[in-house]
Amino acid sequence: MAKQIGRATKVKIICENPQSAAILEKYVPGCLTNPLFEQAYPFPLKMILSQKELKLTKEQQKECILEIEAAGLEE
């Protein structure tokens, strides 16, 4: 049984799925084209969204996670 993509999913898996990648790009513009963002691949989504360098509010972090989880995508 496949796992649903969500807050604990590694960023690499999110970036490999076109639908979840589009949602991530909406909240973190340019992340998919920035080669340095690949350093985030081994980490869970929730951890990366909370990085102060991204300048996301807690509400934006929550919205991104909820939108990805609501899409019902599987790893």
Contact 64, 49 (CB under 8 A): yes
Q: Structurally, how many domains does the chain consist of?
A: 1
**pLDDT for the residue 63:** 98
User: pTM to 2 decimals?
Assistant: 0.91
**pLDDT for the residue 2:** 80
**Residue 51 domain flag:** yes
Cα separation of 15 and 59, whole Å? 22
pLDDT in tens, the chain (75 residues): 788 999 999 999 999 999 999 999 999 999 999 999 999 999 999 999 999 999 999 999 999 999 999 999 888
Contact 15, 41 (CB under 8 A): yes
**pLDDT for the residue 69:** 95
**pLDDT for the residue 39:** 96
Please give the structure tokens belonging to residue 65: 């996670």
Q: Which domain holds residue 15?
A: 11-70
**Residue 24 domain flag:** yes
**Residue 26 domain flag:** yes
